[in-house]
Amino acid sequence: MVRRLLAIAFIFVCTSVAWAILGGTILARTRSADGTLRGRVEGTWGAPQLQKAPTAEYTVTVPYEETEVVDGSKRRVTRTRDVVHSLPPGRSDITAALALQHRQKGLQWYSTYTVDFQGEYDFQNPETVAHPMRLAFALPAAQAVYDNLQFLVDGQPATAITANGFAYMTVEVAANQMFRLNVRYRSHGLDTWRYSFGENVNQVRNFRLRMTTDFAQIDFPDNTLSPVTKTRSGAGWQLEWNYTNLLSGFMIAMVMPEKIQPGLLASQISFFAPVSLFFFFFVMFIVTTIRNMDLHPMNYFFLAAAFFAFHLLLAYLADQINIYAAFLVSAAVSVFLVVTYLRLVTGNRFALREAGLAQFVYLVLFSFAFFFKGYTGLAITIGAILTLFVVMQMTARIDWASKFRASAEPPPLPAAR
């Protein structure tokens, strides 16, 4: 018995090493492909977008005095210098409509989106004299296309000059005059959309942003502001941020839902495979011991190979067909290998009922739990606890000492002819 357990353990360890190599290979291949393909996706569909609040700048000439030395004597002279003042919006009313579209490039899925942006900003000249003001509106991404880009100042079209990722406009503003900037565009981005009030900590007054999505799985990154209100709207959400007087260094952001990545999923399932095989071997050992059936370590070796076939086939089939179809085909092949093999070793009843059911639970269901992000650990834990309960009930009356003692007795000598 002990030698058989050691042999089975050796088979388990060797198979686990093979799974670790397979999982690492899949992960390296996936990351290598992503590093190449992401740049191509950004060049075609756009990069992650960060929209910054616009600013209004004006220059004031300020006199100052300094001492200069002329022919060995000092004298005070008055000079002037230009001081640039930057004004944040006094009021902001923004709408951003996000429409998600998953796109496949090579072996990877990417979360691209379309954003319809409209912003209304109020500025006021705080000086008692007129000033020309330069409006600076930051474009959210360098690698992007802006359709129907419009700038209006007090309802009139404004001509913008773009340079260094900004659109600049110059407006003549009377003393204490308030004016309004309207901006709108339609663009494409990738993975995240963000809105920033500016660098570091900023004071924001009379701010409102309404965001609509056509997807229900919304997520906000760490260190960002959560919406004040959330309302379901069709297949998505209507989110709103309202602030009268806010002081914050955080920004507003939305992360697009991700589609299941076949490579990453296959690698995760491969790394977890030893747990599935352990439970399967454990159940097989208990059941065969109870029924006085003798499975040789070579039988366990072929069972482990059939388990490994599932992960190997999934790793390369997922690149060619839908991940769900690849999972179904791989599981069917592995179960077929185990059942047809044990049918010849132990008979139809054990192969179909005990072995087939155990493989379905510990290989198929445990692996399928990885499709449900956030619930994988809980599902596997519940399965492990139920397994422990069933096995404890089945083996509570077994005299393990006699089982091990009987297996240690030497086999009878052959009868003399």
Q: What is the pLDDT of residues 112-138, one digit of tens each?
A: 999 999 999 999 998 888 889 999 999
In tens, the pLDDT along 50-65 reads 999 999 998 888 887 8
Residues 6 or more apart whose CB falls under 8 angstroms from that of 300 comprise: 7, 8, 11, 281, 284
- 263 sits in the region (left: phi over 0; alpha: psi -120 to 50; else beta) called alpha
pTM over 0.95, yes/no: no
By CB atoms closer than 10 A (0-12, 13-18, 19+), residue 57 is middle
The residue among 177 and 77 whose pLDDT is bigger is: 177
User: How far apart, in whole angstroms, are the C-alpha atoms of residue 383 and residue 377?
Assistant: 10
Q: What is the DSSP string of 141-152?
A: -SS---EEEEEE
Residue 406 predicted with pLDDT over 70: no
Full DSSP string of 84-106: EEEE--SEEEEEEEEEEEEEEET
Give the relative orientation of helices 323-345 and 297-317 as an angle to the nearest 10 degrees. 160
pLDDT at 333 > cutoff 80: yes
Task: Please work out, in degrees rounded to the nearest 5, the angle formed at the alpha carbon of residue 321 by the alpha carbons of 316 and 324.
Answer: 95
Contact between residue 118 and residue 159 where contact means Cβ atoms under 8 Å apart: no
The Cα–Cα gap between 214 and 232 comes to 10
Please report, in angstroms and rounded to a whole number, the separation of the first and last CA atoms in the chain.
30
Choose between 358 and 3: higher pLDDT: 358
Rounded CA gap, 211 and 94, in Å?
8
Segment 302-325, tens digit of pLDDT: 999 999 999 999 988 887 888 889
Q: Hunting for tokens 């599981």 — which residue is that?
A: 331
Crossing angle for the helix pair 262-290 and 297-317, to the nearest 10 degrees? 160
Higher pLDDT, 417 or 326: 326
Predicted confidence at residue 312, as pLDDT, reads 93
Main-chain phi, psi angles of 214, to 5 degrees:
-105, 20
- Res. 35: pLDDT tops 70: no
Q: Tell me the C-alpha distance between 38 and 44, whole Å.
A: 10
Q: Tell me, what's the pLDDT at 339?
A: 93
- Identify the pLDDT of residue 316: 86
State mean pLDDT over 185-214.
91
Q: Residue range 90-119: average pLDDT?
A: 89
pLDDT above 50: residue 413 = no
pLDDT at 43 over 50: yes
Measured distance CA(277)–CA(310) in Å, rounded:
12
Beta bridge partners of 52: 196
Task: Determine how β-strand 161-163 pairs with β-strand 156-157.
Answer: unpaired
Mean pLDDT of all residues in 332-359: 91
* pLDDT given for residue 33 in this prediction: 67
pLDDT (tens digit, 9 = 90+) per residue, 163-175? Answer: 888 999 998 989 9
Mean per-residue pLDDT over the chain, rounded: 87
Instruction: Measure the CA dihedral 306/311/317/318, to 10°.
Output: 150
pLDDT in tens, 360-394: 999 999 999 888 877 888 888 888 898 888 888 88
What the chain holds in terms of domains, given with CATH numbers, is 2-36+260-408 (no CATH), 48-59+79-255 (2.60.40.3680)
Per-residue confidence (pLDDT) for residue 384, from 0 to 100: 86
Element (H, E) at 367: helix 366-368
DSSP structure class, residue 360: I
pLDDT per residue as tens digits for the range 247-267: 888 999 999 998 888 888 888
| pLDDT of res. 202 | 83
| Residue in 283, 282, 296, 206 with CA at minimum distance from that of residue 246 | 206
Distance of CA 253 to the CA centre of its chain: 14
Average pLDDT over residues 99-124: 88
User: What is the rounded CA–CA span in Å between residue 326 and residue 387?
Assistant: 28
For residue 288, give the amino acid letter: T
Distances (CA, A) of 207 to 53, 89, 140, 199: 11, 9, 19, 17
% of the chain residues with pLDDT over 90: 46
Residue 149 clears pLDDT 60, i.e. is over it: yes
Q: Which of 125-129, 184-188, 307-311, 400-404 has the lowest mean pLDDT?
A: 400-404
219 and 142 in contact (C-beta within 8 Å)?
A: no
- Please say if the pLDDT value at position 21 is more than 60: yes
Strand order across the beta sheet in which 252-255 lies: 49-52, 192-196, 252-255
- Asked if residue 319 lies in contact with residue 107, where contact means CB atoms within 8 angstroms, the answer is yes
Biggest alpha carbon distance in the chain?
136
Q: Tell me the percentage of the chain whose pLDDT exceeds 70.
A: 95
At 292, the pLDDT band (50, 70, 90 cuts) reads: confident
